Structure 1
Amino acid sequence: MTQQPFSNAALRGAVDLSGLGKAPAAARPGAGPATSGAGTASDAGLTQATDASFEAVVKGSSTVPTVLVLWTAQVPDSLQHAEALAALSRDYEGRFVVVGVDLGANPGIMQALTPVLQQTFGQIDSLPVVLGLIQGQPMPFYLGVQDIAQLQPLFDQFLQAAATNGVTGRADVGADEEEVADEEAPDELPPLHQSAFEAIERGDLDAARTAYEQALAQDPSDADARLGLGQVELLTRTQGLDPAATREAAAQRPGDVPAQIAAADLDVVGGHVEDAFARMIDTVRVTAGEERNQAREHLLRLFEVVGTQDPRVATARRALTNALF
């Protein structure tokens, strides 16, 4: 199963959906319940979008994390999987909304998403196609029907990325009025996390870093703070980099550790996690001494940015061990 990373950086320049809808500014952390406005819901609780209504989906993803499921009637399992994900959304109490798209009836949506899907998957050889939307930017998840029971880590990371970007609204997942009235208000973010999110929103990465560092000083086991700090550091390192010049320098100087680090950071920002890992592992192979240690340590930092539970991290750890010994 191909999965993409989740970070603030992943929201930058993925694909332009302005032809079908343009996302407004990010919602404030702790935004209240909201719906996607995408269209009508099926008997299974799955909201269906069309080319005409997709603008509402894009806008809604600035308030509620959105999961798109591209299906077709020619593959019945693809629709059934979409409905299963809608049921999973209810288990998550509406922390993300699931929107289905019938590809046969809505070619415009597929046309808008094709560049990022081809960049990630190459040939689309199975359905459904599942991807996330945060603030109007797509994050490809996987192709084909997957075991719902195995998807929780993926959606947990997705929701963490959404929270980091201030997208914390909830969708109406069909609870009756009594249940809604009885629900407790969602837990507030810890003060330092709230400060970090607000700093990210206003573009003050130094303040966000300080807040996360303070959170870790108070609780070294705070995994969310450690992930947030890694993402902020990645954003800081890649600010102002010229992608073309950075990649050209890396191609010309395979043993230059700083050049490879800069290119690997851009790989992660662009969603090419496996490329970033492979680049740094190759750098470990062709260097020695302090340079080799520098490459190894940076790779370990990238593992933290992507998330240590990501299966690509486990694969890369094994490859790193082989490169070192």
Structure 2
Amino acid sequence: MATLGMSAAEKEAVQAFRTDVVEPSMTKLVIIDFWAEWCGPCKALAPVLEKVAAAYADKGVVLAKVDTDKNQFIASQFQIRSIPTVYAMFQGQLVADLTNARTESQLRTTIDQLLRQLPIEGEAQSQEAELEPLIAMGEQVLGEGDIERALSIFDQLFEMAPDHPAVLSGRIRALVAAGAHEEAEAALAALPEEVATRPDIERARSALALAQSAPQVGDLAPLEAAVAANPDDLQARLDLANAQMAAGNRDAAADGFLAITAQDRDWNEGAARQQLLKLFEVVGLEDPWVSAQRRRLSAILFG
């Protein structure tokens, strides 16, 4: 923004804008709120912007407010035609128009997308880099069936990052695997709204629902004998597959659910297929094992 030919007041406004907005944008994502005192919609949007900016402060997001009445020259440079107008700036460049994002959910979604695309380094990103290998270790231990150690890892991570969705998900799934269903249920109920709907948490919620619908069975032999005696008894097959799943034998459980689906896909309102889909959610939809089982399911349904 060149200052040649400007009045002293305009130069002062430009310098203030550089100091308050452009310079912070060199390392942070600056949300610029163009507003005015007389603007009712501006006053309605302001608390939402302030709440979201505060929630994302540790991720390198800051809020800058520009009163268009007091900064008419700045507003004219950005060709502000109506207010509220909300832009996002990074490294001195406008990177998004947030004007139509009027709800907290819409703003969070857009900011999340920007943070994934831009090289912004806030405290949260630094913590994320530190947590990522530890979370991966906890997931690996949990996947290997060492429940006690996995729970210990996620408990320690929970102390470090009590609001991190992946940490919360891992800890809740470890509690489920340990049979502590009431504690897992309480942990889910205590989650703040903005975290409760995250995909990681849905995975944990599915794990609890699956465990509650398929309680552990001490001795699988009677169920195996019932299936062997009458392979057409689909309820016996479902009971065995559920028990195998509860015991952590996902391969055998998947084989059972797929066999039932192949024999009668609509039996019991598709119960076997529904259990298999819940198992996919618990394991993780990006897991290679899930991809392989999905191909098997597709071959049955559409082959």
TM-score by length of 2: 0.42
Quick one: higher RCO (CA 8 Å, sep 6+), 1 or 2? 1
Choose 1 or 2 for highest CA Rg.
2
